[in-house]
Structure 1
Amino acid sequence: MTSSDSLVRRPGEPVLTGLGLGAPAADPADSSAYAFPDGGTWRTEIPSVEGPEALSAVLKESARLDVPVHRISQGSGIWMLSDAEITDMVEGCAERGIELCLFTGPRGSWDTGASTRTDSGGAGPRARGHDGLAGCVEDALRAAGLGVKCLLVADEGVLWTLHRLRTQGALPADTTFKVSALIGPVNPASYALYERLGADSVNVPSDLTPAHLTEIRRVSGAPMDLYIEAPDDLGGYVRMYEAAELIRRGAPIYLKFGLSKAPGIYPYGAQLRDVALDTARERVRRGRLVLDLLARHGAGGNMSAPGSRLPGPLRRFAID
């Protein structure tokens, strides 16, 4: 446990201690030994920002509520945005020093394959066939050409392919790859595998326990993404009171401010404009609530510097 960990107040303390109901001391061995390159242990992300108008709403609300934002992510996909819309988003994020992360290409859950609509879920959101893979690559190259530096992937083969392209120079060397919560790993071995395949951050499912995060950190230092509040289709979990412990165990970690009890908006279009803008603003407000809670418990420090985005050195498979 670091000196800053020892200053963190758990919810309800010290009054519960006075009643003989104090929580057991945190085990120093559970604290993550990793951090972002600048020494910070956590960053913030606003997900489901589906276009320039939603981005504008997020930027305005984050300034009003003083919510620092390290990353903006989108879920509908690069193919659902025009070049002009992508350029607007790139420029808007660059002005505020925010990383923009856009989702790559076709995915099985929207494809013609019927298996994704069965109880088994089939192959889920992964890219189906050569054409699915090719669409993701096309999306990645197009977005990178327009200045997007972070790409969201939901397929292991797509990740490995894009990492090879990055290594060969077909994608800029400072491009980062974020693994989607739709295929997030649930054990240490699979998490470490994504790191080796080229992931620069990995969105784990939001139902993992603090102990699971510690297990992952024993084998990998790749940045972790975790919904503090998850959308309903990812469980709808609200874990605000665990934020400090999730940082302690999972650092370096992106705290994602999602929103439960909200309509789905993927794939986004103008027919969903009002709900997209309302939910974008509310995600920022949820972020403010989490930051206030961390501050009250003495855990609001050690945030990675605004404008930082790179993950630091990570372990990769050799490329032939």
Structure 2
Amino acid sequence: MTNLADLHALMARLGHPVAGTASAVESRFADGAPYRFEIPSVEGPAVLESVVAEADRLGVPIARTSQGSGVMMLTDAEISDMARIGAERGIEINLFLGPRAAWDTGGQAKLTQAVGAAARGNAMVAACVADALRACSLGIRSLLVGDVGTLEVLRALKEDGTLPANLVLKTSVLIPLTNGPTAAVFERLGATTVNVGTDLTVPHLAEIRAATRLPIDLYLEVPDDQGGFVRFYEAVEIVRAAAPVYLKMGLRNAPNIYPSGSHLGAVPRELGRERVRRAALVQRLIEQLDPALGKQVGAGPAPDLGVPEL
């Protein structure tokens, strides 16, 4: 078995040294872990049940699941079931706020993803707030935010007690975050964990880490509509540069399932299982390339996770 140092030494001996490697991990989550796994596109309780069952079967520690269809696409019973499973397992259950520009009557969002998650008009911001209030009333303590103004409104509602003080506000990958100054702005606006651009280099991630204390969320396998990258062999260097970091397991060559529902049959469940399998592949690779780091993967429950409260 060859670790990362051995691989780099081999390349140096051949006259092709690996440049720009990251230093040892320093920053960590509240429980001491430098990295955790997040499974995205967990669109309802049936998908969540499949994900946790597959995680148990493969021995993958899942700290967080996230959903993309939005709170408004779930019934109260479905949200309550997801909250119950998350509370029982100590897993953060993150739900997207809606509605969003890409599903609205405007035209710009149909042409570019850059504004796809924006809230068009104050009424749409109010609808996002309604989603937030409903989700929190059913026990959810983690929300995915796709609009900068909505993020600041939610921060104010946390501060005045309208929303729970421990509510996790996770920025969406659909809000471009590609540099340190932007990360610092998002932190000031109330973000508690930030999705970053899918194509950032390890030095870029190190710059963002220097600008904010917030956990960084990064796709290791990126959906096709976000670039379609597969970065498994960068995992160790990414953790060293970006810790504390959520490693998100998307899927290439997979259908877009938003908004999800029973009309898609078993597809969302099977995609969820495969995302867990991808996480198992990454965990094995981290354990090979850096055995000490491989033992430090975090899972729930932990004090900084937005685990549902029933």
TM-score range, shorter-chain basis?
Answer: over 0.9
- Displacement of 1:38 in angstroms is 2.4
- Aligned to 1:182, the other structure's residue is in SS state coil
Q: Unpaired segments of 5 or more residues in structure 2?
A: 306-310
Identity, % of aligned positions: 47
Q: Specify whether residues 36 and 121 from structure 1 end up closer, same or farther in structure 2 by C-alpha distance, changes over 3 A only.
A: closer
1:23 paired with 2:15, answer no
2:159 to 158, 162, 167: 167
Question: Number of paired residues?
Answer: 303
1:144 to 124, 136, 145: 136
- Displacement of 1:147 in angstroms is 0.2
Q: Specify whether residues 310 and 52 from structure 1 end up closer, same or farther in structure 2 by C-alpha distance, changes over 3 A only.
A: same
Bigger shift: residues 13-22 or 101-110: 13-22
- Displacement of 1:15 in angstroms is 3.8
- Displacement of 1:37 in angstroms is 1.8
CA deviation vs aligned residue, 1:45-78 (integer Å, no higher than 9, x gap)? 0000000110110011000000000001100000
For residues 243-262 of structure 1, what are the structure 2 equivalents within 5 Å? 243-262=235-254
Bigger shift: residues 75-84 or 267-276: 267-276
- TM-score normalized by the length of structure 2: 0.92
2:260 to 268, 274, 289: 268
CA RMSD for the aligned pairs? 2.0
Q: Unpaired segments of 5 or more residues in structure 1?
A: 1-6, 312-320
Q: Specify whether residues 51 and 219 from structure 1 end up closer, same or farther in structure 2 by C-alpha distance, changes over 3 A only.
A: same
1:52 to 19, 25, 45: 45
**Letter aligned with residue 255 of structure 2:** P
- Displacement of 1:219 in angstroms is 1.4
- Displacement of 1:105 in angstroms is 1.5
- Aligned to 2:204, the other structure's residue is in SS state helix
1:37 to 27, 30, 44: 30
2:77 to 81, 84, 89: 84
Instruction: Report the counterpart of residue 154 of structure 1 in structure 2.
Output: 146
- Displacement of 1:9 in angstroms is 2.0
2:58 to 32, 43, 65: 65
CA distance in 2, matches of 1:121, 1:300: 35
For residues 299-318 of structure 1, what are the structure 2 equivalents within 5 Å? 299-308=293-302, 310=304
Bigger shift: residues 17-26 or 236-245: 17-26
Instruction: Report the counterpart of residue 96 of structure 2 in structure 1.
Output: 103
- Displacement of 1:25 in angstroms is 7.5
CA contact under 8 A between 1:70 and 1:309: conserved in structure 2?
A: no
CA deviation vs aligned residue, 1:204-263 (integer Å, no higher than 9, x gap)? 011011111111122111110000001111111100000000000011100001111100
CA distance in 2, matches of 1:122, 1:262: 21
1:130 paired with 2:122, answer yes
**Letter aligned with residue 83 of structure 1:** D
**Letter aligned with residue 239 of structure 2:** I
CA distance in 2, matches of 1:198, 1:184: 16
- Aligned to 2:162, the other structure's residue is in SS state coil
Q: Specify whether residues 11 and 140 from structure 1 end up closer, same or farther in structure 2 by C-alpha distance, changes over 3 A only.
A: farther
CA distance in 2, matches of 1:23, 1:144: 47
CA distance in 2, matches of 1:265, 1:247: 29
Q: Specify whether residues 278 and 10 from structure 1 end up closer, same or farther in structure 2 by C-alpha distance, changes over 3 A only.
A: farther
Instruction: Report the counterpart of residue 194 of structure 1 in structure 2.
Output: 186
- Aligned to 1:227, the other structure's residue is in SS state strand
- Aligned to 2:234, the other structure's residue is in SS state helix
CA distance in 1, matches of 2:226, 2:281: 21
1:75 paired with 2:95, answer no
CA contact under 8 A between 1:32 and 1:214: conserved in structure 2?
A: no
1:9 paired with 2:4, answer yes
CA contact under 8 A between 1:90 and 1:100: conserved in structure 2?
A: yes
Q: Specify whether residues 296 and 84 from structure 1 end up closer, same or farther in structure 2 by C-alpha distance, changes over 3 A only.
A: same
CA distance in 2, matches of 1:13, 1:34: 24
CA deviation vs aligned residue, 1:4-50 (integer Å, no higher than 9, x gap)? xxx9625734543443444358464xx56422122221111000000
CA deviation vs aligned residue, 1:179-210 (integer Å, no higher than 9, x gap)? 00011311111111001111010000110111
